[in-house]
Structure formats: C-alpha cells, structure tokens
Amino acid sequence: MSDEGAGTTGSELDRLATVNLNLLVPLLAILEERSVTRAAERIGLSQSAMSHALSRMRRLFGDDLLVRHGSGATLTPRAMELVAPLRATLRQAADVIAFPGFDPATDRRVVTVALTTSTAFVLGARLGRLMAEQAPNATLRLRTITVPTESTFTEHGVDVVLVSEGLASPYPRERLYDDRCVVVAAPDVPPEASTLDLLTTQPHVVVDTERRVFPYSVLDEKRIPYRVGQLVSDFLLVPFLVGRAGGVALLRLRVAAEMQKLIDLRIDEFPFPLPGLGIDMVWNPRLTDQRFVAWLRGLLFDAAEA
C-alpha cells in the first residue's frame, strides 16, 4: 500500500518515535505564560521539573525559546512561530482522545479573563464568588490590561477579553452590560449645587493622559469652564481621591456605584446627552470548547447583574 497522500509518512512517524511528545504540553504552557513558575502551576508540575523540561525542549528545537528580558521574559522568534501550530496540534490530539465534556464541578483548568482594572473592580469579586461556588477546583485568573491588542487574544491563555464598546476588535463581540458616564463629587459639597455648578466650581480629579478622557470633549465643545485640580495615573484612584479629598470627577456609573459601597460619594447624572459606555465580551477565536464557553458566558452575565 502506497503512503502517497497519507497525512504522515513512515519516515515521519519514525522520527516522531524518537521524540518525547509529553514535552509538548509543558512547552505550550511556557510559551503562553512566559514564565517557568506560572507554567508549572498551570499544568501541575514542580518548578524544577518544568525547568528540566524547558532544558530538554531547548535541546530539541536548538533554540533558547524563553529568554530573560528586564524583570520578565520574552519569547524568541522561533518560539513565537511555534505557538499557533502547537495549539492546533494539541487541540486535535484532545479531539482524538475524546476527553469528557467540560464539567465545572470537577474541572481544574485556569480560567483567564482579560479586562481593565476598573472593570475588574466592578466584576472581580462577584466573578470570584461565583467561580468558587460553581467550579471549586478551577482557578480564576484576572489579567488587567489597558488597551487590548492582537496578542491579548492569542497569548497567555486568555479565554475572553472584556472591552469598552468604544474600542475596536477584529472579532465578534457581545454586550455584557451597559454603562454610562456620571459625575461624582465629595459628600460635603453644597447639597443645593446643581451638577453643572459642581462641574464649574469644584476642582476636577482626572486621569493624567496626553488627551483628556471622554467626555471632557463634550464640556470643551459646549465651552463649559472647569479646572483640573489633581492628575493621577490610575483610573481607579479617581473616585477614592474625590471622596476623601474633595472635588469632582467624571466616571463610569458601575465603578462609582461600587466605590460608593466603600466611601461616601455623591453621584449625579451627566448634564448633557452622551453615547453609552457598555462593556463587551470578545472571545479568544481559538477557543473551541463550546460547553466551557457557554458556562463562562453565563457566569459573566450573572456576575454583571446590577
């Protein structure tokens, strides 16, 4: 019988027989995590065992694969080339073996959600509580990002990215929850002051960026005077500083409402019409376990209930 047209020739199988294919799983974990420690934790190996596996993989590929870079590590060009085909190969292997379907009650996977710090502030606690109830053996990983990039979806094992509706994505998206911009002020501002009074008389606490964050452009267009009193680099510090030090700020309602549980804040509606500021779910396009996707999707919706 001829091997012509077969997916793998006899000589290729002979060569594969000399390779320890058990190395492929730790290899993918290292490429996605870019850390020996995190990769070892992810697949249940000791750090020394993972380091030994990395040494063997380096010899196998004739490449360093993972190299130190500053305080972290980066992948070599050869390692970057391996990520996509390795994922596809291991996914096909899982299909051949036909593992049982996803069961949250027993599954031990790491569930990775990428999101901004402010979205994590809104959803993180409820999501963690629901995970502990429904998937007690799984681990929730929240990866905080500023602006998602293509690598956010393809690296680090991210399952789903939560993005603002104003940020573009090449992949399909679905609304998780709607949000809007509100005005937050210190509790000791004059109670009779209107929202517009607050915006024009109180010092503003704003995020320190080259361009003033939306919706300050609306105030500028309407020539509403305001004064910046504080500049901070962390968005989540804004409501805390307003509540404790005074002033006024423009903030997402869900963030303001969550912070109001911790410190006293006055929350008013923005005085002019604005477009929405919803948060969308964008799934990793390489995620094929639809039972897992359906479960995590429901979990996110439950966590996002106002």
Q: Tell me: the pLDDT tens digits for 205-223? A: 998 887 777 789 899 999 9
Cβ atoms 263, 184 nearer than 8 A: no
Out of 3.60.110.10, 3.40.190.10, 3.40.50.10490, 3.40.640.10, which CATH number does the structure's domain 181-269 have? 3.40.190.10
Amino acid at 297: R
C-alpha 32/C-alpha 254 separation (Å) is 32
The H or E element that residue 152 is part of is: helix 150-154
Task: Please give the angle made by the CA atoms of 160, 164 and 168, to the nearest 5 degrees.
Answer: 85
- 5 pLDDT band, cuts 50/70/90, is very low
- The span from the CA of 130 to the CA of 236, in Å, is 23
Which sign does the torsion angle of CA 89, 80, 145, 54 carry?
positive
Do the Cβ atoms of 179 and 252 come closer than 8 Å? yes
- Using CA atoms, how far apart are residues 267 and 69, in angstroms rounded to an integer? 45
Mean pLDDT of 47-74: 87
Residue 296 has pLDDT above 90, yes or no: yes
SS3 label, residue 93:
helix
pLDDT: which is higher, 20 or 295: 295
Q: Does pLDDT of 299 surpass 70? A: yes
Report yes or no: 205 and 241 within 8 Å, Cβ to Cβ.
yes
Q: Is the pLDDT of residue 74 over 80?
A: yes
Q: In the sheet where 139-144 sits, what is the strand order? A: 139-144, 110-115, 160-164, 279-283, 174-177
Per-residue pLDDT of 26-54, as tens digits, reads 888 888 888 888 888 888 788 888 898 89
* pLDDT recorded at residue 263: 92
Predicted local confidence at residue 146, as pLDDT: 76
Mind listing the pLDDT tens digit for each residue in 219-235? 999 999 999 999 998 88
* Burial of 193 (C-beta count, 10 Å sphere; 0-12/13-18/19+): middle
Q: Can you give the pTM of this predicted structure?
A: 0.67
- Name the band, by pLDDT with cuts 50, 70 and 90, for residue 3: very low
For residue 219 the two structure tokens come to 């105030």
Average pLDDT value for the chain? 86
Burial annotation 168-182 (CB, 10 A radius, 16+ → b, else e): eeeeebeebbebebb
Position 236 scores a pLDDT of: 86
Tell me: the pLDDT tens digits for 109-152? 889 999 999 999 999 999 999 999 999 999 999 998 877 766 67
Share of the chain above pLDDT 90, in %: 46
Q: What is the pLDDT of residue 16?
A: 63
Fold match flag (110-176+278-304 vs 181-269): yes
Q: Which position has the token pair 């510090």?
A: 237
With cut-offs at 50, 70 and 90, classify the pLDDT of residue 6.
Answer: very low
| pLDDT over 60 (residue 8) | no
pLDDT at 99 over 70: no
Query: Hey, where are the domains in the chain?
Result: 10-97, 110-176+278-304, 181-269
CATH of domain 10-97: 1.10.10.10
Tens-place pLDDT, residues 151-164 = 676 666 789 999 98
pLDDT computed for residue 91 by the predictor: 75
Structure tokens at 292: 């897992």
The whole-number pLDDT of residue 145 equals 83
Which residues lie closer than 8 Å to 104 by C-beta, 6 or more apart?
Answer: 134, 135, 138, 295
Task: State the Cα–Cα distance between residues 247 and 203, nearest whole angstrom.
Answer: 5
What percentage of the chain exceeds 70 in pLDDT?
88
Q: Does domain 110-176+278-304 have CATH number 3.40.1080.10?
A: no
3-state secondary structure (DSSP) of residue 169: coil
